[in-house]
């Protein structure tokens, strides 16, 4: 039983970071219907930026805050500088999605140029080796911090979306863009903020993943794929679904790696996703998207 609980704690810890990535994917998709395949590379760029700032001025608070701001501004700049001009030229949703693929490749190249291709350690105030004992369960300082910050970020996003005027504007824009424009909502500004918030969440996940993984231009590739899978599992138009999907995927991975083999844990996790999507194609908490005309 203790072993089972230990696997669950480990799974919930990594699942909380998958949930952050998934929230970013869902936040953009539900507002623009675009799948942002540069999401992980934006997080990588933000993490490298944090490392660069820390090397210039060794302050964790400063480097992390600037990295989150950098990631948000990066995504907003992409929306205003690339997506809006493409939309003015009647680019399709598929075409806009391909633009995010190209953006991801550009970020990979820039990260390789400025950060180097050799894996490097990432300094962090929380340790992956210092552990706390809770009864018979052990949890590292880094895992505890990752879970806490992920839950805090999710709660703040929920409060923003559900309890503020900006959140109301975001929900109105995602429901019916034309009606929101008619009501005087600055939809482009609202959508750019959605892109910025999504990228901020991705960078936050990257900052907690980098100490456990070696930092290189591709270190967020697998976490992005897992976060994307969690978003699909929970429902691409459901923010609560993204959180549920992230935790379920983390639990499935941890239990499969503990009771079966580490090599099989990814396979089992995605088999579970396939089974659930066969039963509920829209995801666990998702709803069928209906285009208004």
Q: Report CA Rg, the chain.
A: 19
pLDDT digits (tens, 9 = 90+) for 173-227: 988 888 888 888 899 999 999 999 999 999 999 999 998 888 889 999 989 989 9
For residue 231, name the pLDDT band (cuts at 50, 70, 90): very high
Please enumerate in sequence order all residues whose Cβ is within 8 A of that of 159, keeping only pairs 6 or more positions apart, or say none.
167
For residue 293, name the pLDDT band (cuts at 50, 70, 90): very low
Burial of 118 (C-beta count, 10 Å sphere; 0-12/13-18/19+): exposed
All structural domains of the chain, each given as residue ranges with its CATH number in brackets, are 2-279 (1.10.3470)
pLDDT digits (tens, 9 = 90+) for 20-46: 999 999 999 998 889 999 999 999 999
pTM, full prediction: 0.92
């Amino acid at each position: 039983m203790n072993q089972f609980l230990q696997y669950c704690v480990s799974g919930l810890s990594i699942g909380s970071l998958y949930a952050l990535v998934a929230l970013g994917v869902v936040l953009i998709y539900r507002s623009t219907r675009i799948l942002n395949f540069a999401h992980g590379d934006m997080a990588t760029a933000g993490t490298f930026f944090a490392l660069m700032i820390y090397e210039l001025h060794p302050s964790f608070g400063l480097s992390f805050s600037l990295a989150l701001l950098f990631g948000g501004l990066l995504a907003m700049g992409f929306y205003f500088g690339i997506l809006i001009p493409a939309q003015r030229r009647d680019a399709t949703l598929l075409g806009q999605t391909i633009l995010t693929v190209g953006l991801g490749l550009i970020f990979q190249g820039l990260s390789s140029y400025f950060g180097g291709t050799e894996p490097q350690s990432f300094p962090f105030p929380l340790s992956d080796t210092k552990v706390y004992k809770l009864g018979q369960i052990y949890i590292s300082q880094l895992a505890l911090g990752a879970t806490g910050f992920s839950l805090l970020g999710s709660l703040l996003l929920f409060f923003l979306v559900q309890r503020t005027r900006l959140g109301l504007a975001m929900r109105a824009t995602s429901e019916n863009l034309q009606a929101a424009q008619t009501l005087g909502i600055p939809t482009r500004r609202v959508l750019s903020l959605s892109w910025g918030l999504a990228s901020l969440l991705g960078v936050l996940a990257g900052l907690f993943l980098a100490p456990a993984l070696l930092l290189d231009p591709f270190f967020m590739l697998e976490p992005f794929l897992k976060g994307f899978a969690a978003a699909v599992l929970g429902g691409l138009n459901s923010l609560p679904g993204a959180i549920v999907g992230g935790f379920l995927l983390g639990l499935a991975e941890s239990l499969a790696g503990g009771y079966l083999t580490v090599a099989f844990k990814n396979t089992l996790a995605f088999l579970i996703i396939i089974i659930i999507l066969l039963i509920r194609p829209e995801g666990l908490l998702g709803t069928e998207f209906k285009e208004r005309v």
